Amino acid sequence: MAEPIKFTAEELNNITEMRDENTRIINDLGQVEIQLFLINEQIVELGQLKVKLQSQFKDLQTAESALVNNLNEKYGIGTVDINTGEFIPEK
């Protein structure tokens, strides 16, 4: 069996620094992956919320159109002053 050879203090220090830097980079990459995972989860949730709000908006537009049609049938064409609650017929 060959005799072991000791590294110099500088060589050992270089090896240790590289190992520590390697560990730091691997940990940082893991943190980036976790952040990307969480961001992607938020994107999915926002997409689901967007679809839900679009559906609610469409339903509201339909209800608003029905209300306008009903009010036009009852009062004729005109405008509504929301502040006073008055209907102003078109001339």
Q: Is residue 4 in a domain?
A: no
What predicted TM-score, i.e. pTM, was given to this entire model?
Answer: 0.66
User: The domain containing residue 31 runs over which residues?
Assistant: 10-89
Domain count, the chain: 1
Tell me if 75 sits within 8 A of 87, measured CB to CB. Answer: yes
Q: Is residue 40 in a domain?
A: yes
Q: Is residue 2 in a domain?
A: no
Question: pLDDT of the chain along its 91 residues, tens only?
Answer: 899 999 999 999 999 999 999 999 999 999 999 999 999 999 999 999 999 999 999 999 999 999 999 999 999 999 989 999 999 998 7
Reading phi first (left if > 0) and then psi (alpha if -120 to 50, else beta), residue 80 is in beta
Q: Is residue 41 in a domain?
A: yes
Residue matched to tokens 């069996």 = 1
